[in-house]
Every structure is written in structure tokens, then in C-alpha cells.
Amino acid sequence: MKRSSGILLPVSSLPSPGGIGTFGREAYEFVDFLNAAGQRYWQLLPLGPTSYGDSPYQSFSAYAGNPYFVDPSLLVEEGLLTKEEFFENAPADCASVDYAAVYETRFALLETACARGIRRDAGDFSRFCEENAPWLADYALFMALKRHFGMRSWTAWEDDDIRFRKPEAVRRYQTLLSREIEFISYQQYKFFQQYYALRDYAHKKGVRILGDLPIYVAMDSADVWADPENFLLDENLQPAAVAGVPPDHFSKTGQLWGNPLYRWEDMKKDGYAWWKARIRGAARLYDAIRIDHFRGFESYWSVDAGETSAMNGSWVKGPGSEFVKALCGEVHGMEIIAEDLGYLDENVRELLRGSGLPGMKVLEFAFDSREPGDYLPHTYPQNCVCYVGTHDNAPVMAWRREAAPEDVAFAEEYLGLNGEEGFNFGMIRGGMSSVAALFVAQMQDYLGLGADARTNTPSTLGGNWKWRMEKDALRTSLAQKIRRMCYIYGRLGAP
């Protein structure tokens, strides 16, 4: 990985018209900003369709794209919508994403576009469906069934035959829901068409896309419904145990994620084919990926189904180095980052060292007196990625107000922070000047925003994933300031 830097900004946070960020004009303008600011990477959060709670880490599919990101303005340019249809049926723009309003309006627009475009695009659409089988067929049928059964989780569908994917039931519902399946497939066609156009534009501007691969998939997903044998489910297709993390200094009860766990021994028998297909899917989207919760490959926290907190879980041995080697070998030449945060022991550190993958360092953790770690910049190896904070951390100006006074004082002393430079830019300088191969900051940190701009607060439901950047935030003077810092510390990426 070349010495460089990037900015973390979820697509949903772009100031696109229609209530949520999309792959439209504002995304292209952000790429231009990254280029002007000398950035090599745009880091995204997972792009999948979101479920209850709106988290991109709880998606209906590990392969599909979020229909919310399909830009209606581009559909207007194609002649698939009129301006009046878009602006009369889009939710009012506001400072945060109103997911309920977007849900109520976006699919009606996409249905109109589909009705006008699906015959016109028949050839390309047919090729897209063939090239993306079988995941697309599973996902489209799954989502059509969810709508048929009132959007309930697949484990609550009244028809046991389709819950268990009996062949006769699959054929029957494929016929019954054929128009709905076609519409859902067309959404994916437009998603990938718009996304690839944006990615190609980014490449021309010298910007690479850094994606995020969650270690677990959602229980209510096409992935679990289509391949239940890969997951730790009982005879009724209910989870026997679920994922989480144990209590630590940041969470007294731990985090109960609720995702189904993998049957690692069964997956090993076919050479981890399910995982290899999944990482190949990620490689078709991204230039580099961050593997979330890497430590779970060494050992993972297992909580019996029915528990209401993560406190009563236990560590279970994961697939280890053999699996990591197989996974990395599946995508030659692709940059992979290991998210090695959380409780680490020597076994996890050895797994990371053996993999050769860069781990992560979070600057906000460096000054936290509650938990010692190796996050101070003078301890970094070159083969790592330094973040001021991730999407799960407070923007640095909020951290300044929320952290213990002695922790803030230590940061000021260690980094020589001062009012003239600004606390946020001093912290950015601390990471930018480190030996870490890649440095990443949230866009909120460059903008000097506070707690209201936080992307996510772990272990909470509601109020997350909603922050949106203001329309006039991408100032030329800011890009020049960032570019100058990249030049000083040898991180210039985009020409």
C-alpha cells in the first residue's frame, strides 16, 4: 500500500436532492474534491440494502446494492422520470436522512422508471441478470417474498415450504411474484450501472474506492435464507447462537449484534466456497476492502440465542490462518485492511502478523486512559492504517468535549495542539505525519463538526446513520489546505 490518505464519507451522507445521498451529481463533486485535496481513497460504508434500524451492517444481502442510492436525477436525464415526478414525490431535503420518508417515496419513483425502462434496456438488463446469477435470483425472490409477507423476517413467513426453500414452493412463488422479481432485479441493474459509472469517474481522477466487508451477515437476509447450512441454525431455522462482543471499558454489557454465527467446520469442507464467492463479489465493487472484526477469524464471541445481553457469551475458536490465507488468495492484487480493533490477545496479533495485512490504529484511542493500547503514533509500524476516528467514533471535535479532561490534555501535550491551527487539524496532523501507510479521517473531522454529525453510536438504536453534509461544505480553500498537508507529509495521491 502506497503512502497516501483518504476520506471516509458514507454515500448516504452526500447532500443529494431527495432526502438521502445518491450516485448523482453530488457524488461526482465529492470525487472532484478528493482529487483537488490530493486524496487517493474514498472510503465507503457497506453499500447493501438496509433493514430495520438503517444500519449498513445489517443488510438484506451481501451482494445487492441499496436502491436508495440510485439517483433519480440521473433517471430524469435518461427519460425514465420527469422532473415533476421526482420533485413532487421526493421527501423534503433536511439536515439528516429521514429513512421513513425515503422508504415511502423512493420505490414508487423506481417503479415508474422500471415500467418505462425495462423493455428499452431488455438486452443489457438480461445480460446483467445472467452475469449476476445466482445471487441476484436469490435476492430478488427473497425481497419479493418479504413484500408478499408484509416485510416480516423470513423466519416468520407463514408458508413453511418457502421458508425451507422447497423446490416446488420456489417455482410456485417465482411464477406468482414474477413482476415483483423483475422490478427488484431492475433496481439492481440501475444501481450497478450508476455505481460503475461513478467508480470509473473516480479512477480517472486518481481516486480509488475503499469498501467495507462486514464479517457477519444479517439473519434476515437472502444470504442466510438461501444457504442456511452455512450458519449455526437449529432444525426450525432459528439461530442456535448469535454474534456479539464481550463487555469492555466502552460498554459494560458488551454488544449483542444478533447475527447468526458460521458453521466454520462445514465451510472448511468445500474450501470456504461461500466466503470466496463473497470476497469476489466485493472485489467487483471496490479497489480495496476493510474486513470488519478481523479478530473474529481467530476467535469469536458466541452468545446463546435468547440472551438479552452479550455478558453471558464465551469465546469460540475461529477458522484461523488457513482461512485468512484462502480468502486473501482469492483476490490477487486487491488491497485488504484488517479491522483489528477491540479485545486483542497475542493469538490475534499473531494471526495479523502472519497474514501480512495492515491493521488499524485509531488516534482517539491513543489518549484514552481507560484502556492501554498501542495507538500512539510513535508506536506505529509502517504497515498499518491510521484513523482519527472511525464511523463508530465521535467526530474529533465531539471527542474533545466528551473525553476525560486529562485525556484531552494528554493529546494537546503529545501533539502540540494549539488554537491557531485548530484542535481538529492538529489531530489530523498527528495521524497524517505518522509512518502509517494510509491515513483516513472522517469528512466531519475536516469540517470541524461536533456530536450532531456523528455517524453511529454502537449499542444504540435510532438516530444513527443519518448525518448529511451541507451543500456548500466542499470549499476550494479546504481542499487546498488538505492537499498542502498531504504534500508536507508525503501523502499526495490524486494528481
Dihedrals phi, psi of 283, to nearest 5 degrees: -65, -25
Which cell numbers in the block locate residue 195? 455505481
CB atoms within 10 A of CB 332: 7
Question: For the sheet containing 41-43, what is the strand order?
Answer: 335-338, 288-291, 208-213, 41-43, 4-8, 438-442, 384-387, 359-362
Polymer length of the chain: 495
Contact 349, 403 (CB under 8 A): no
Distance between CA 256 and CA 246 in Å, rounded? 8
Contact 477, 33 (CB under 8 A): no
Which cell numbers in the block locate residue 251? 460498554
Contact 352, 374 (CB under 8 A): no
Out of 161, 392, 412, 421, pick the active-site residue.
392
77 contact partners, CB below 8 Å, separation of at least 6: none
- Asked if 29 is an active-site residue, the reply is no
Out of 298, 335, 339, 407, pick the active-site residue.
339
- Give the three-state DSSP class for 317: strand
Question: Considering only CA atoms, which of 104, 175, 115, 174 is closest in space to residue 142?
Answer: 174
Instruction: Please give the DSSP secondary-structure letter assigned to residue 24.
Output: S
Distance between CA 201 and CA 74 in Å, rounded? 15
Contact 213, 292 (CB under 8 A): yes
- Give the three-state DSSP class for 50: strand
- Give the three-state DSSP class for 39: coil
Q: How far is CA 26 from CA 74, 190, 427, in A?
A: 12, 18, 28
- Give the three-state DSSP class for 128: helix
- Asked if 339 is an active-site residue, the reply is yes
- Asked if 307 is an active-site residue, the reply is no
Out of 78, 98, 159, 292, pick the active-site residue.
292
Residues marked active site are found at 292, 339, 392
